[in-house]
Structure 1
C-alpha cells in the first residue's frame, strides 16, 4: 500500500496501530490482553465511565519518579564537578495543590510567575523561602505580597523592577534575594513563540545592560544579588544552546565577581520531551552531565570558582506523565487535491472528539505535534491517516495534526493522546463555554480527582447577568 501523500514526511506508518511507543507514553500506560489501555492499573474505559471525557489523566508514580530523577541527576552531576545544584519545578507547566506537594516531597523548590501560582503553592504547604518568582510584569501587589511572605528570590526582568522590589523589601524590613534575568541572545531551535532569549522579545535584560542593573542592585541595602538567570526557550532536545548560554553568562558572571559575590547561576529550563515517535529527546541524566561539564570547563578557563547551578525543569517532569482521554464523536473522509494539474486527490480522515483547543491549545498556538491511539479496544484494521479535530467553531481546532489510527475507528471509540501533562491544563480555556475537564491522578489501580472539572453551573455562577 503506497503511503498517503498528505502524511508529513516525518510520520511513519506503523506496523501495529495498537502499539504504545514507550518514549511517548507514561511508564504506567499498558495495553491489556483485551486491548484496553490502562494507566497505573486503571482502564481507560473505567476512567471515562467514572469521570467523563475529555479527561486529563496523570500517572502519579511516573510524575513523582521524574521529579525525583531530576533532582538526583543534577545533584549528582553538579556534585561530580565540585559544586551543588538547586532544582526548581517550573509551575507553569502544570500546577495544582497535589502537584505542588509531590514536587516538594521530591525535594524540589517551586518556580512561580503569578500571584495565583504563589497562592496554590503556598496552599500546598510549600514554604515561600523555597519559591522563586518570575515574570516580566509583576504587579506591585504581587511583589509586596511575596516579599512580605519571605519569597526565596525574585527574578528581576527589568530595571524598574529593581526599584519596586527594593522598596517593598525596605518597607517590610527584609533583605530580598534577587536574580537578574539576562537575555543571552542564544536562540533555541524551537517555534518562534517558544524561543525566549532573542534580542527582540519581552523577557530579560541584555548582556550589555546587565552590569548597570547589577550595580543598582548592589547599591541598595534591601537587596542581595543571588546571581544571573537565563532561559533560552522551550522543548529543546540538545545541550548546545544551554552550553552557549552558559558560556555567555559565565563571562558576565566573571566580570561581576570583581565587585562582589555572585553565588549562583541559573540556567533555566526548557528541556524537551518526546511527543511523537521521531522526537529524539535526550535523557535528563545526559543533559545534567553535559551542563555540569560545560560549567566546570568554562569556570576553569575563566579561573573563577564554580557557582551553585540552578535549573528549572517543568515539561520534562509533568509532560510525559499526562494522557488526555477523548471520546470519538464523528468520522469523516475528505478528498484533498494533491496535484492541481492532474487532479489527483488523497483522503484525509477527520476524527472529531469531544474536546479540542479548549483543553489543548498547543497545536493551535505552536503547530505542536502529538500522537494518538485508540485505547478502548484493539484493532486488526490497516492504518489510516487521520487528523484528530476538536469540537470548537474554529478550523484550526486540531488536537493531533497527523497520525495513523486503525481504519475502523468509529464514533464511541476512546482516544488517548499521550504527553499532555504540561501546558495543556495550564493553557485550558472556556472557549465556546466549554467547561475545563477534570484532572485525575492514577496510582496502584485507583483514581482520584485532583482538580475538579467545570460544569455549566460553574460557568453561569460567574455571569453577573444572573445577579
Structure 2
C-alpha cells in the first residue's frame, strides 16, 4: 500500500478539529462520534453528570481574557458579568487581572463572596434601587455608572464618602444589531441623550454633588456588534463631549468606557488599533490628554468556551421532523427572545445515515420552545441519542429559569485535571426552599 493510500486510512482514526469560530479551543471530534475538550469526553460527562448540562472550558476562557489584554494593553478590560457569572468564574477573572461590571446586588454579592477586589467592580443598571446603591457603597465598588437624574440625586444623598462615578451617554449611534439589544440609539431606556443636552445636564448635576467624583463617560452601543466603525464613531462623539466638558467645567475626565457588545468572532486586533488611533487623533484635535479606555466584553470571552449537552427524548416524523430534548426554553431562551441561531451535532456515536433537516425543540409547554428550526442531523436520529450545542457559554446559565419547575442544569468546568462542578444541578428541594 502506498503512502497516498495510507493517509486517508489514518485520517479515519484522527481527531477532527472543529470550527474554531464556534467551539472551545481544545474541542476535537473523534471518529467514533464522541467529542473531547482538553481530552475529556463529553459523552463521559453526560454519563457522569446527566443531561442537560452546561460544559465550560476554562482554557478558552483564559485565552480570551489574555487576547483582550494583549490587543488593548493600555486599556482596562472589565468582563460583563451578565454574560456568565458565578463565584468560580469571578475567581478566574480576578486571576487574569480583569475588572468586572455587575448590574445587580446579586451579581455584586457573587463577586465579593468570591473575593473579587471591589475596587475593580463597576455597578451598572438603568434602575438601581436604593438598597443596591447602598450595597455598592458598603462594598466599596470602584465606580458606579449613573443612568438617570433621579439616580444622581439618590446616590448623592446616600454617599458618605467620595464615590467615583461615570455618566452613561447615549450617543445616537446604531450598532446595526437586533432591536432588543440596541442600546446606543435615541428613544430607549438607557443613558443620557447627547443630542438633547441631557448628558450635559447630567454632568452639571453630578458636579453639584460634593461626594460624587465624576471620572469619565460611559456608552454601550448594543450586543453582537461586528463593525468596528461604529465604535470609531462613538469615540468621535464622546471625545467632542469630553472637550465640551473641559471648556465648561475646567476638568479633563480620565476615563472613557466604550462598553462591550462584541460579537463572538469580533475583530479584536482591528478594534484595538483603530479605536486607539481615532481616540488619539480626536484628543489631539481638541487639545485633550487622551483618557484611559475601558471596554466591557462578555459574550466575546465566554460564548465559545461553553457547550450544552442534551439527550433526545422523542422524535416525531411527519411534515417535518421534530427532535425533542430534555432541556429547551428554560436553559436557552435566546432563540425565542432574539431569534438566536445555533448549530447542533450528534454526540456519542457515528452515523452513516444521510442527513436530513430537523427542528430541535424543548420539553416545555410552549409552542415557541424551539431551539433550532433548521438543524441538519442524521436521518436515524433517535430517542436516547445525545446532542451537543456549541457557543453557549454566554447568556445561557445567566438567563436560565425554572419555567414548568424544570430544574436548572449544572455547570461543569474542564480545566487541566478532573472536571469540576462549578454549579450543581438544581434539586426539587431547591425549588421548594423559597416557599413559606
TM exceeding 0.5? yes
**Structure 1 stretches of 4+ moved >4 Å:** none
Q: RCO (CA 8 Å, sep 6+): is it higher in 1 or 2?
A: 1
C-alpha root-mean-square deviation of aligned residues, in Å? 1.4
Going from structure 1 to structure 2, the CA distance change for 1:246 and 1:435 (only over 3 Å counts) comes to same
Query: Is 1:458 aligned with 2:430?
Result: yes
Q: How does 1:272-351 map to 2 (within 5 A)?
A: 272-273=263-264, 281-335=265-319, 348-351=320-323
**Contact 2:252/2:288 (CA < 8 Å) preserved in 1?**
no
Q: Equivalents in 1 of 2:393, 2:256: separation in Å?
A: 28
Unaligned residue ranges in structure 2 (runs of 5+): 1-15
Residue 190 of structure 1 aligns to a residue in which SS? Answer: coil
Query: Is 1:138 aligned with 2:128?
Result: yes
Q: Equivalents in 2 of 1:411, 1:291: separation in Å?
A: 51
**In the alignment, which of 126, 133, 154 is matched to residue 164 of structure 1?**
154
Q: Equivalents in 2 of 1:445, 1:130: separation in Å?
A: 30
- How far is 1:293 from its partner? 2.1
> Which residue does the alignment assign to 1:103?
93
Q: Equivalents in 1 of 2:412, 2:229: separation in Å?
A: 37
- How far is 1:19 from its partner? 7.6
> Which residue does the alignment assign to 2:222?
233
Q: How does 1:22-101 map to 2 (within 5 A)?
A: 22-75=20-73, 84-101=74-91
Residue 198 of structure 1 aligns to a residue in which SS? Answer: coil
- How far is 1:445 from its partner? 5.3
- How far is 1:381 from its partner? 2.2
- How far is 1:128 from its partner? 1.1
Q: Equivalents in 2 of 1:350, 1:287: separation in Å?
A: 42
**Number of aligned residue pairs:** 417
**In the alignment, which of 344, 356, 374 is matched to residue 328 of structure 2?**
356
> Which residue does the alignment assign to 1:217?
206
> Which residue does the alignment assign to 1:12?
none
Residue 357 of structure 1 aligns to a residue in which SS? Answer: coil
Residue 126 of structure 1 aligns to a residue in which SS? Answer: coil
Query: Is 1:395 aligned with 2:367?
Result: yes
Residue 306 of structure 1 aligns to a residue in which SS? Answer: coil
**Contact 1:54/1:355 (CA < 8 Å) preserved in 2?**
yes
The alignment's TM-score, normalised by the length of structure 1, stands at: 0.87
> Which residue does the alignment assign to 2:168?
181
Query: Is 1:251 aligned with 2:240?
Result: yes
**Contact 1:36/1:45 (CA < 8 Å) preserved in 2?**
yes
Q: How does 1:198-213 map to 2 (within 5 A)?
A: 198-207=185-194, 208-213=197-202
Q: Equivalents in 1 of 2:269, 2:97: separation in Å?
A: 17
Going from structure 1 to structure 2, the CA distance change for 1:22 and 1:400 (only over 3 Å counts) comes to same
Unaligned residue ranges in structure 1 (runs of 5+): 1-17, 76-83, 274-280, 336-347
Q: Equivalents in 2 of 1:135, 1:401: separation in Å?
A: 34
The C-alpha deviation readout for 1:35-80, integer Å capped at 9, x for no partner, is: 21112211111101111100000011111111122122111xxxxx
